[in-house]
Amino acid sequence: MPAGEHLILCVDDEMVGLEVRRILLERAGYRVLTAGDGSKGLELFASEPVEAVVLDYAMPGMNGAEVARSMRITKPNIPILMLSAYTVLPAEVTRIVDLAMTKGEGAPALLEKLGSLLPASAS
């Protein structure tokens, strides 16, 4: 399945980082929805045919772990890639998500890890 057929939800309270990831993913051919907090992310996750989530760990209010737990209840098979400025996440968090990476790993790593979570073809 070409990247353009995949709808990705990005959730992050840092608007600049969120916009950079949106542009990166769109240039890679993905369709992208963005949310600036966990509540909006959960709303979009429930109402849109999202195929993967790129989720920030440290957010005010509802953090990434809480958002991921809620997502697993409503749509348990949707892959979640957790981003963090921290180099180590709590084990509980890494058990909830499919993959985790630090924000410092950069764009190529993000695209590679996200791509590994999605089906390569519809055939």
- Give the domain CATH number at 82: 3.40.50.2300
- Containing structural domain, residue 92: 3-117
Q: Is residue 95 part of a domain?
A: yes
* Whether pLDDT at 122 is above 50: no
* Whether pLDDT at 113 is above 50: yes
Q: Is residue 36 part of a domain?
A: yes
Residue 23, pLDDT score = 97
The model carries a pTM of: 0.91
Q: What secondary structure letter does DSSP report for 105? A: G
Distances in Å between the alpha carbon of 22 and those of 8, 35, 49?
A: 9, 11, 17
Confidence of residue 103 (pLDDT cuts 50, 70, 90): confident
Q: Is residue 89 part of a domain?
A: yes
Residue whose entry in the numeric block shows the structure tokens 């608007």: 15
Residue 90, pLDDT score = 75
Confidence of residue 123 (pLDDT cuts 50, 70, 90): very low
Q: Total domain count for the chain?
A: 1
Average pLDDT score over the chain: 90
Residue whose entry in the numeric block shows the structure tokens 């790593």: 109
By the 8 A CB rule, do 76 and 45 touch? no
Q: Is residue 122 part of a domain?
A: no
Residue 4, pLDDT score = 61
Confidence of residue 8 (pLDDT cuts 50, 70, 90): very high
